[in-house]
Amino acid sequence: MSKFEDRDFVCKHMMLRKQDIVKAIHELKLKNMDDVQDETGAATICGACYDDVEEILHEELKKQKEGEV
Ligand code: FES
């Protein structure tokens, strides 16, 4: 599980909370980090949040695959 709660900021540069990233992943059908970066701007400034954003992406894709969302 991700160490972030829904309301926690994951990407401080782009002011993105976990819930913002999760919403974008599902609504915009983002499949990889390039998609996430293009659509949300997450991890495009300093990159320090890249691994955290990627972890969230993988969790959400897994949920989609398992039919949880
Ligand atoms: S914290 Fe996300 S790009 Fe810097």
pTM of the model: 0.95
Cα–ligand 1 centroid distance for 38 (angstroms)? 14
In ligand 1, which atom is closest to the CA atom of 43?
3
Backbone angles phi, psi at 49, to 5 degrees: -90, 0
Per-10-residue mean pLDDT of the chain, 69 residues long, equals 91 98 98 98 98 98 94
Q: Is the CB of 17 under 6 A from ligand 1?
A: no
| Measured distance CA(15)–CA(55) in Å, rounded | 18
Q: Is the CB of 11 under 6 A from ligand 1?
A: yes
Residues 34, 2: contact at Cβ < 8 Å? no
pLDDT value at residue 17: 98
Cα–ligand 1 centroid distance for 56 (angstroms)? 14
Find residue 11's DSSP bridge partners: 16
pLDDT value at residue 66: 96
Domains of the chain (ranges plus CATH)? 9-65 (1.10.10.1100)
